Amino acid sequence: MLITALVLVPMALIVSTVIQQMFADSVWHDTREEVSAVAAAIHAGHLSKVLVPVVPGIDLVQVVGPSRQVIAASHAAKGQPPMSMVWPAPDDPIKDLQTCGNPQPGCLRLTALRVGATPSSSVVYAGQRAANIQSTGFIATLVGAQTAALIALAGWTSWKVVGHTLRPVDSIRSQLAQITFKNLSGRVPEPPGDDEVAELARTANRTLGRLEQAVQVRRQFVTDASHELRTPLAGLRLQLEEAQMHPEDTQLEELLDRMLGDVERLQQIVTDLLYLAGVDATAAALRKQIDLGELVRMALDQRTDRLPTKVSLQNGVIVNAVPSQLNRALANLLDNAQRHGEHTVAVEVYQDATTAVLTVSDDGAGVAHADRERIFERFTRLDASRSRDRGGTGLGLAIASDVAHAHSGSINVGPSAAGGARFELRLPLADVL
């Protein structure tokens, strides 16, 4: 028992330390990118007193002059003393730092970059409060709890078995040390068998898998936001610049109407993106048993749609689901059918063996076979869809797909009996007590 504990506890510390260092490296990578961007603006002569950070998550940015006076700062760092007293030397112009309590409250991870080599050179600081990085504590707790369970199960192991299981430890440690935040696809080697080190390797790989998935969600959110928000923001800026250049030719009421429409579209996109980012995070905690037919009936009673809806709802089709998420997926499917239907929409709920099935059908143009998977991707608009739905965000069916998969279900589209599209959402039936 003692020998096993002496092996597994250091391994847990190694995993925890490596993962925490990966998070720290990620923050310093972002702060280095931010200070480089500010330094480029200084060299180009475009520095403003209020700095707008360009790297997501880095909100504390300052430019400090040679007399230690703050020349420019972001909103979060405005009115604050210099973030650090460290002043990089000309021959070593960039430093990664972690400071606690002085002069800022709490702990900061930041980067300091000296802009030039002359005595009058300024220093750019960019940082993030360490309190914002919460995932490391959770991962360390998870690894520690799983390691404690392994120690309890390993009490029966003799010293010969322990000696045998220790041989793969060095290769596991070596592989963990090579995994970085930029590439989380690496995994540690898993020894054969079910001993402690093999289980620890599998636990480390599962933890790395969850970490990789969380990072992918974050990167997907940033990518989606930057890609889709750029166009309406550019449109807003163009309208404002035209009004500024030609104020005498600007119809204020018309301009405000157009800008309000762009702002509402931005708000809708941001709301949908945030909803997508939170689907997996909340599904497990808020699930309860729901009668799918009753949920659909109540949702339809609250709608006023363009086309009449035919319903066929079987009672007693019970699923474990988050009501708000299932309502959102249903609303998106109904909205899609109402937009593309010609005369009527049909909704059906029934039980198929161990599966609950919800279908929403329309009598519109349908979806081509080649587009039946692509239609569930984010920001996808088919040719026919673009002409009918100019105000959509392109996220409605992606949200429905994410909700289905978060509930261990599936969604697909095929032809309806009326020649349009038939969307079929399948969820596992609940074990009714």
Please write the tens of the pLDDT for every residue from 358-405.
Answer: 999 999 999 999 989 989 887 776 654 434 444 566 788 988 998 999
Burial of 133 (C-beta count, 10 Å sphere; 0-12/13-18/19+): middle
Residue 293 near residue 314 (C-beta atoms within 8 A): yes
Residue 74 near residue 61 (C-beta atoms within 8 A): yes
The pTM for the full model equals: 0.47
Residue 411 near residue 376 (C-beta atoms within 8 A): yes
Distance CA 132, CA 17 (A): 18
Structure token pair of residue 82: 């210099």
Tell me, letter by letter, the H, E, C secondary structure of 342-377.
CCCEEEEEEEECCEEEEEEEECCCCCCHHHCCHHHC
List the chain residues with pLDDT less than 50. 132-136, 384-390
Structure token pair of residue 123: 């220093």
Burial of 20 (C-beta count, 10 Å sphere; 0-12/13-18/19+): middle
Number of H helices, E strands in the chain: 10, 13
| CATH number belonging to the domain at 284-428, selected among 3.10.20.30, 3.30.565.10, 3.40.720.10, 3.30.300.30 | 3.30.565.10
Query: How far, rounded to the nearest angstrom, does the alpha carbon of residue 396 sit from its chain's CA centroid?
Result: 17
Q: Which of 417, 300, 296, 312 is nearest to 364 (CA)?
A: 417
Distance CA 316, CA 309 (A): 21
Query: What CATH code would you report for 23-132?
Result: 3.30.450
- Strands in 78-218 per DSSP E: 94-100, 107-114, 123-129
Q: Which of 179, 198, 202 is nearest to 19 (CA)?
A: 179
The CATH 3.30.565.10 portion of the chain extends over 284-428
The CATH 1.10.287 portion of the chain extends over 216-281
The CATH 3.30.450 portion of the chain extends over 23-132
Distance CA 345, CA 327 (A): 17
Query: What CATH code would you report for 216-281?
Result: 1.10.287
Structure token pair of residue 61: 């940015």
DSSP per position, 231-291 = HHHHHHHHHHHHHHH-GGG--HHHHHHHHHHHHHHHHHHHHHHHHHHHHHHHHTTT-EEEE
State phi, psi for 361 to the nearest 5 degrees: -125, 150
